[in-house]
Amino acid sequence: MKYILSFLLACLLAACNSTPPSVKNEKAGKSTGAGSDAHGWIETETLKSRLGDFEFRNGYPTADAVKKLSDALVYNRAIEVYLDQMHAVSWYNVWKGVAAAGAGTPNQLVIWESLMDSETLLLTGNTETVYGLASLDLKRDGPVVIELPAMMLGGISDMWQNELAGIGPTGADKGLGGKFLLLPPGYSGKVPGGYITLKCTTFKVSLGVRGFMQDGKPDKAVALMKTTKIYPLSAATNPPATSFVNGSGKEVNTIFSDNYHFFEDLAELISEEPDGCLQSNERFLLASVGIEKGKSFQKDADRKALLEDAAKTASAMARVNSFASSDTAKMVYSDKHWEWAFVGGSATWDSQGYVNTDRRAAFAYIAIGMSPAMVKKIVGGGSQYLWTPRDANGEFLDGGKNYQLHIPGNIPVKNFWSVVVYDAQSRSMLRNGNRFPSLSQYSGPQINSDGSVDVYFGPDAPKGKEKNWIKTVAGKGWFPLMRFYGPLAPYFDQTWKPDDIRMIAKE
């Protein structure tokens, strides 16, 4: 008992003479809040992160930390704005590029009369169909009438690439053509009868139409497009003649910027369109980087530099998102490197029960035209698309190397197939010295005895394979897009599929 009492007394004395942990931390200049280490609370310390080092005193940021962290917040939000609003800025640049072509008259329709070629800067354009694009301004002109002939294909879209109406057999006109009346947002005037009436969600609207070649020539499709009429409703009794601009062979630039100008374009668009185009949280993100309807977007040198850096970083992320995404749903085949253009099979990107903005951005960085008609699975009708930036070994395609693509026989199309090559930088047709960096059944390729086709890519044509060669450019990455117009059942059930692109030795 004596020894037990002595032991307890010694423990008590030791406890009395010891310093509580909180006091020790205080002496060391640390905060004394209970459980601070367990919660990871910031105390008096230098916080080291991948964004930089930030000084704190007693839990408060220093003036330097306030500046750096405030900038980091704007920087991060600017990156998110870039990725989230890319599809709108892209389409706005298409609108501006088309509006500025030719004389830039209000009611002009730009038609690529001898097909689109590599002079036009447009995301993954097509060399086999005739394109027509018109930029309409309902704020300037009020309600606008578009008269379209029967059997035209295309659509009318707002500035966020939302389709207002399809055109063609599955569209609002059922392929019969007719008069479309486009009403501005909030329009409350009298609406006359006899029109296919569209209540538009933005003041700026794009009309896009396309036509197929007949007997390998675009003439009939062009002639059909030139029966289109565009004029204000106010001039319906005596409409002005529609102006037609030939876009072939001309540098019509419709590509958005990867620098500070991206945010300038977005600010312009927001200033001109209704608030209802965006959700409340989207408007908050825009406001947090200085883009707010009714307010100037003039920025000082420091903020311009920050947004320039953010745009560059965001564009780098966009390239990863488009060219190297980890989204497994992008793969068309389990044993090939071909990818879907519309990942998830939806033009509204909501196949998972929510809008997947990463998938939308992945498409928007390399393509335009978020039309439901481009996704519909119609055997013998419509169109389908495959693309890849990689060869059979999973390596990115290099313009200085030589490759071969074997397309098996009995290509499952009712109308036509094509392979078009694009520049990885501009995502437009590769400028390789030829007007059309493509191969299709219209171009007369050499066909193998079993009906298959071998396509060759590289800086120099393989001997004897010139008709099946698409020239690439050393120092430039490239990617192909395969189009199937009128795809047949073997395409959809995958009993037919193209081979991977394989690197070959130079002959």
Closest alpha carbon to 89 in 273, 251, 284: 273
CATH number (2.160.20.60, 3.40.50.410, 2.60.40.1610, 3.40.50.2300) of 105-246 reads 2.60.40.1610
d(CA 357, CA 87): 10
* Predicted local confidence at residue 506, as pLDDT: 81
* Predicted local confidence at residue 373, as pLDDT: 84
* Phi, psi (rounded to 5 degrees) for 12: -65, -45
The H or E element spanning position 8 is: helix 2-17
Can you list the residues of the chain whose pLDDT is less than 70?
1-36
Closest alpha carbon to 110 in 99, 94, 118: 99
The H or E element spanning position 2 is: helix 2-17
* Predicted local confidence at residue 29, as pLDDT: 45
| Model pTM score | 0.91
* Predicted local confidence at residue 7, as pLDDT: 38
pLDDT tens sequence across 85-119:
999 999 999 999 999 999 999 999 999 999 999 99
The H or E element spanning position 75 is: helix 63-100
3-state secondary structure string, 422-451? EECCCCCECCCCCCCCEEEHHHCCCCCCCC
Task: Answer for the pair 185, 201: CB distance below 8 angstroms, yes or no.
Answer: yes
CATH number (3.40.50.300, 1.10.3720.10, 1.10.3360.10, 1.10.1740.10) of 62-102+257-324 reads 1.10.3360.10
* Domain ranges within the chain, ordered by starting residue: 62-102+257-324, 105-246, 328-503
Q: Which residues pair with 197 in a beta bridge?
A: 181
* Predicted local confidence at residue 295, as pLDDT: 95
